Chain A
Amino acid sequence: MENNDTENLIEVKNLKINFDTYAGKVKAIRDVSFHLKKGETLAIVGESGSGKSVTTRSLMGLNADNAEIAGGQIMFHGEDVLKKSEKEMQQIRGKDIAMIFQDPMTSLDPTMKIGRQIAEPLIIHNHVSKKQAMAQALEMLKLVGITDAEHRINDYPHQFSGGMRQRIVIAIALICYPEVLIADEPTTALDVTIQAQILKLMKELQEKIETSIIFITHDLGVVAGMADRIAVMYAGKIVEYGTVDEIFYNPQHPYTWGLLNSMPTLDTQSGELSAIPGTPPDLLDPPKGDAFAARNPYALKIDAEQEPPFFKVSDTHYAATWLLDPRAEKVTPPEAIAKRQAQWAKMHTDDGELVRPATPLNTADNLDDSDRE
């Protein structure tokens, strides 16, 4: 994404990552660029294996030993994170960039009291006394909505429910007030009501702590109420990015269409829910041309030959599909997508004032906190 905004907190440029395996080189990340602005939430969506985790883990230097950075830069505070030593990365991890993982049931140390686990980053980074760190941990525990925090700070992880544990994981991530919070599918392992509570909590805390969030999910439905912008990933590349409204109401890439169609919603009820047919390509030997072509009913001849560049839709919205080439024949998107685009057109009537329809996608409202054991 070309963006010269000075407020960019993180700028990933042309990132390429391979994994050495017995079968050969897995080309997991194939030229990914994006940026993250101060205070915003960027959602990265895409099917399993599209490279969401690998991309974000490289921001923290946490990829597996067999990962090989084949090119690119990750600029953070004017410095390339990829060039930093392990020691320098340790100073960033947990302090400037923190992470929430997918499964709260397994991401806490079962043999350590949760208070200590929350205080740990403070002790490492801010060199505060243990007593002071525990006091701050208690404050954070209250902030993430654990009732009776004074007592529960001395409990072990198994004494909490899944939703509560994810709150604790969030407390750990936020204890040093990081500038960037990476949430890698933070609600996938939770059931729906608790999912909504956690999302709501994350939004509230984002305001209090003034952190930027990279929110990873394979479920577009979760994104609507959370994110400012969305980047859609497929087979190690970003194929489309734009604001939430642009991606939801004016999607251009057939893969984005597929993702939107496989998402249950109320306002675009088309009756059937269709998963995208086919499977992603083998990244050991990625196809020439557009990686999505094999699964794309709208594929053009050129898709098999040449990779599509990004075509500009608006200042904030780009998509990598040949369908946007002026020479390409106009296609009619699936019915549900056409409906969305019609809505988009309506939203931009007259004076160009954006009238966003009430979105029922945001499930994070009007829910009480009742997931205590």
Chain B
Amino acid sequence: MAKYLLKRLFYLILTLFLIATITFFMMKLLPGTPLSNESKLSHTQIQMIYHTYGLDKPVWQQYLIYLAGMVRGNFGLSFQFDNQPVSYLLATRMPASFQLGIQAMIVGVLLGIIVGGIAAIRRNTWVDGTMTVISILMISIPSFVLAILLQYYIGLKAGAFPVAGWGNFSYTILPTIALAGSPFATTARFIRTEMVDVMSSDYIELAKAKGLTSTGVVYHHALRNSLIPLITLIGPLTVNLMTGSLVVENIFAVPGIGEQFVKSITTNDYPTIMGITMMYSVLLVVVLLITDIVYGIVDPRIRLQGGRS
């Protein structure tokens, strides 16, 4: 197990290094410069600013300086946001994004399990059909459309929840729903497929032959076996939430990472782009590592491979 973890850790660091490198050079290929919006600056002023940020050095030197800083946890100063350190920006904006992300994940996955499970048990009935249509809609409607619809009809027209901004819990509800659409639909479809598969397996037949009620069969045998593979979906769902948050946070004016990320890209704020990218990457690889470990813990077939067998 220790050896396995060490190996995973090595690949994790390698992945992060590759992401850092690729992002750095892709970012340099973005059109425009950090100062392209500041037309009043003279050439000498621009050169001065470039010099303070080290942007006059050759790109490969910038890259090495950047890597060296990053390893020490220093992502540099933001060009745009009042010259604040990027790490400080991240720290202040993380809580809102995390809260939304976790809320959306919990709501989406739980609803998805319930809906997908019911669809599987009532397979090929109108219940199943309706649920399939809903989840296909939720997958195909982009989250920003859902967000705007929610904002307009529930926020503005019905006045049920705040239209935008950030404050008490009620502010989180609409963005959470908008973000939860994708994990909900993905989970529902996954669980339905998984459960239909499990329900047709021999051990379910045996469970019925034991005299279990249909609820007993689902509760004691089908559910557990369908839920375990769901763990592998957490990684992709995290990615969904990250990309979803970019637009959803903007629409609802949530002071989160996603909103800042979009701003920093439009203004070529290199240190912030890099900082956020790296933070997302670290989050994702850690989520993937944790889900792998958890999978190994809950699935007896994998659990024992390292130990006795």
Contact = CB atoms under 8 A, between A and B. Distances in A.
Interface of A: 60, 62, 90-95, 98-99, 101, 103, 106-112, 120-121, 124-125, 156, 158-159, 169, 172
Contacts of A109: 203, 206-207, 221, 225
Interface in B285-308: 299-301, 304
A106 B299 CA distance: 16
Nearest to B216: A124
Contacts of A106: 201-203
A106 B210 CA distance: 16
Chain B, interface size category, equals 20 to 34
A159 B211 contact: no
Contact of A107 (B202, B225, B304): B202
Interface string B224-242: 1100100000000000000
Contact of B211 (A91, A103, A110, A156): A91
Interface string B185-224: 0000000000000000111011111111100100011001
B44 interface: no
Given A124-B216, A156-B301, A159-B304, A111 B224 contact: yes
B209 A62 contact: yes
A120 B217 CA distance: 11
Given A106-B202, A107-B203, A109-B225, A158 B208 contact: no
A95 B209 CA distance: 9
B45 interface: no
A106 B225 CA distance: 13
A90 B217 CA distance: 12
Given A93-B208, A101-B206, 19 more contacts: A62-B209, A92-B211, A94-B210, A94-B211, A95-B211, A101-B202, A101-B205, A103-B202, A106-B202, A106-B203, A108-B203, A110-B301, A111-B224, A111-B228, A112-B220, A112-B221, A156-B304, A158-B300, A172-B206
B52 interface: no
Contact of A60 (B209, B213, B301): B209
Contacts of B205: 62, 101, 107
B309 interface: yes
A104 to B, nearest CB: 9
30 contacts: A60-B209, A62-B205, A90-B213, A93-B208, A93-B209, A93-B210, A93-B211, A94-B210, A94-B211, A94-B212, A95-B211, A101-B202, A101-B206, A101-B209, A106-B203, A107-B205, A107-B206, A108-B203, A109-B203, A109-B206, A109-B207, A109-B221, A110-B203, A111-B300, A112-B224, A120-B210, A121-B210, A124-B210, A125-B211, A169-B206
Interface string B243-262: 00000000000000000000
Contacts of B211: 90-95, 121, 124-125
A121 B209 CA distance: 9
A72 to B, nearest CB: 21
A159 B212 CA distance: 25
B125 to A, nearest CB: 11
A121 B216 CA distance: 12
Contacts of B221: 109, 112
B208 to A, nearest CB: 6
Contacts of B220: 112, 120
A111 B299 contact: yes
A276 to B, nearest CB: 29
A331 B210 CA distance: 49
B141 to A, nearest CB: 33
Could you say which of A109, A112, A156 has the most chain B C-beta atoms within 10 Å of its C-beta? A109
A103 B206 CA distance: 11
B300 A110 contact: yes
A290 B201 CA distance: 36
A152 to B, nearest CB: 12
A60 B207 CA distance: 13
Among all A-B residue pairs, the 6 with the closest Cβ atoms? A94-B211, A94-B210, A93-B211, A156-B300, A106-B202, A107-B202
A303 to B, nearest CB: 37
Contacts of B212: 90, 94, 120, 124
Contacts of B206: 99, 101, 107-109, 169, 172
Nearest to B302: A158
A124 B203 CA distance: 17
Contacts of A101: 202, 205-206, 209
B26 to A, nearest CB: 44
Contacts of B207: 109, 120
Nearest to B207: A109
A251 B33 CA distance: 94
A110 B206 CA distance: 12
Nearest to B204: A109
B303 to A, nearest CB: 9
Interface string B11-40: 000000000000000000000000000000
Nearest to A113: B300
Nearest to B298: A111
B261 to A, nearest CB: 40
A304 B4 CA distance: 70
Contacts of B210: 93-94, 98, 120-121, 124, 172
Nearest to A108: B203
Contacts of B203: 106-110
Contact of B309 (A90, A112, A159): A159
B147 to A, nearest CB: 38
A94 B213 CA distance: 12
A110 B309 contact: no
A46 to B, nearest CB: 21
A99 B205 CA distance: 10
A156 B302 CA distance: 11
A110 B220 CA distance: 12
Could you say which of B212, B225, B309 has the most chain A C-beta atoms within 10 Å of its C-beta? B212
Contacts of B301: 110, 156, 158
B306 to A, nearest CB: 14
Nearest to B208: A62
A26 B60 CA distance: 74
A125 B209 CA distance: 12
A258 to B, nearest CB: 30
